[in-house]
Each structure stands twice: as structure tokens, then as C-alpha cells.
Amino acid sequence: MAGFQARHLIALLLLAVYSVAVRAVDYISPGLTPEQVLQRMDTTRAPLVVDVRSPAEFAIAHIPGAINAPLSELEARLDELKHDNGVLIYCINGSRTRKAEAVLMDAGLPQIYHLQGTFSAWIQGKYPIAKGGVNKTSW
């Protein structure tokens, strides 16, 4: 009985370690918290903020100053995304952000960041939100 319990305990421990490791590698790029993004807004350290969701999603709500470059258009718009302070990418739940990371890294863009907690965390944290159509300019 003790051997059975020990094996199950070890299996649960390994599962927990694996679960943490998988979450740690979900993103390739370093993350910026909403607070860090806000601290950099309107400073010389502000990254180009890129919303990789669809234009319709962007129009409903987005981070003020963000530009909309849907994931499907990202490769064609790489020249627009070169920025001295890097690029912060986000979507609503992280799935398109992870795909966008790969596209931008494969293209050799330096300083790529993701929004920690995704845009969902931004909304839940009641951070500033802009509404309306596609923004062609950045911060």
C-alpha cells in the first residue's frame, strides 16, 4: 500500500512540475505586465504596441495607441513593425500572440515582448481602453 501511494505521489509531483514547465515555455518572448506597459506609455522607452486580432475585434476595444496588424497580415507588414524600443504583441487569449511571436522572431525582429495575462487581463484590470477603427500610428 505504501509503495502504491508513493508511486502516485511521485506521479502527481512529476505532473505538477511538467505543468509548470509547459506554462513557462508557452511564450518565447519576455512579457510585460500591464503596469509596465503603462509606465512606458508616452516615454522614450515605449514599444510599438501591436494588436494581432481582427479589425472587428480591434474596433471594439484595444490598448490606446496600439496599431492593428492581424496575424494573417503580419508577414506582409514586417517593415511597419520595426521599432527602436521593440514590439509588444497581444491578443485576447494568447493563441495568436504565440503565433505572432514565431513570425516576428523568424523575421529577425529584435526586442519582441508579449502582454502578460493577455488583453483579457488588461480588460479585467480596468486599464485604459480605446475604441474605434484601425490605428495607423503608434505611441
Q: Please determine, for residue 2, whether its predicted confidence score (pLDDT) is greater than 90.
A: no
The 10s digit of each residue's pLDDT in 39-81 is 998 889 899 999 999 999 999 999 999 999 999 999 999 999 9
> Which of helix, strand or coil describes residue 109?
coil
Q: What is d(CA 27, CA 116) in angstroms, rounded to the nearest whole number? A: 10
> Which of helix, strand or coil describes residue 49?
strand
CATH of 28-124, one of 3.90.320.10, 3.40.190.80, 3.60.20.30, 3.40.250.10: 3.40.250.10
The pLDDT value given to residue 131:
93
The 10s digit of each residue's pLDDT in 87-109 is 999 999 999 999 999 999 999 99
Domain residue spans of the chain: 28-124
Cα 34–chain centre separation: 11
